[in-house]
Structure 1
Amino acid sequence: MEQKVLVAHGTANGSTQEIAETVAEVLRTTGITAEVLPARSVTELDRYEAVVVGGALYAGRWHKDARRFVRRHRGALAHRPVWFFSSGPLDSTASQRDIPPVPGVKRAMARLDARGHVTFGGCLTEGAQGRIARMILRNGKGGDFRDFAAIEDWAMGVAKELGAMTHR
């Protein structure tokens, strides 16, 4: 049976979308059909057996599109496997240790019995939109702190879990 997985994301400047695309690419290498969509554009989940939701972190909160997606689709998400990821720290902490989900994500995980969460390093580079982003860059705090090997490893874990589910 073909599995179809949605990888939905909330992003301001595109780096969380790139993480979502990497997750989907890894899932595809294992034979899973994966579709990447902006969280705000998803209208229904009927076509998907599982969902991965990613959101950029801003001031201790998940991107509004990711939050709204989870709220809007709560009923459908409760009936399928769900994983969350966050992207955010503009330093190497996400590569050095496990960073727990922010409170809003932690609550959503508990409500939906989510199978997992990980926080990846963020990315903020020249040309980023938003007053706060530009201020961070002016203060020399930007950069790309995403660890694509860690992203691929995490996505492979999701794929393995999905594979184990289909063989029950």
Structure 2
Amino acid sequence: MLSKVLVAYGTTNGSTARIAETIAEVLRKEGVSAEAVPAASVTNVESYDAVVVGGGLYAGRWHKDARRFVRRHGRALARRPLWFFSSGPLDATASQRDIPPVPGVKRAMTRLDAGEHITFGGCLEAGAKGFIAQKILSSGKGGDFRDFGQIEAWAARIGTRLAADAQQS
């Protein structure tokens, strides 16, 4: 029986953290023990039965903490059920259509045999850190484009899959 799922994430301004926390919360409602943890603080994944990894997108790349997490724990990740998510488009496109993973995430998915990837809308609001973030905000292109209904539905599918796998074990 699956008992514990790690939702590891890389974030700069907290938007991806909120997505990860929502995923963990939905998994718990589905009867799966889950916790959302910053990817940079995870030292070992051996105590987890499955892993979800997410990262904010910056200039076409996953957040550095998510990339480093996947490299550092690759062997262990390849031996467990694994899902990836990205957050980033600052418009409604992620809610309207499937956005494929960026090339680096696609390579990691193939290498680690990840089950699925999804891209969620991003969030960039006043107070965000970074020169580029400030430029985007000053141009009027910020906002919150996360679709929590979409996030919750995706997490529920993972919970259903994990529960089915546990019953077959």
TM-score computed with the length of structure 1 as normaliser: 0.99
SS in structure 2 at match of 1:118: strand
SS in structure 2 at match of 1:157: helix
- Number of matched pairs: 168
- Partner of residue 152, structure 2: 152
Q: Is the 8 A contact 2:2 2:49 kept in 1?
A: no
| CA deviation string 1:103-151 (max 9, x = no partner) | 0000000001100000000000000000000000000000000000000
**Distance across 2 between alignment mates of 1:2 and 1:130:** 39
Q: Is the 8 A contact 2:2 2:166 kept in 1?
A: no
- Structure 2 residue runs of 5 or longer lacking an equivalent are none
Q: Is the 8 A contact 2:2 2:163 kept in 1?
A: no
**Distance across 2 between alignment mates of 1:54 and 1:30:** 20
Identity value in percent: 70
- Give the Å deviation of 1:35: 1.1
CA RMSD of aligned residues (A): 0.6
**Distance across 1 between alignment mates of 2:29 and 2:124:** 29
Residue type at the aligned position of 1:113:
D
**Distance across 1 between alignment mates of 2:155 and 2:123:** 19
- Give the Å deviation of 1:31: 1.1
Question: For 1:11-160, what aligned pairs fall within 5 Å after superposition?
Answer: 11-160=11-160
- Give the Å deviation of 1:167: 1.3
Segments ≥4 residues shifted beyond 2 Å: none
**Distance across 2 between alignment mates of 1:50 and 1:162:** 8
- Give the Å deviation of 1:52: 0.2
Q: Is the 8 A contact 2:2 2:162 kept in 1?
A: no
**Distance across 2 between alignment mates of 1:112 and 1:146:** 27
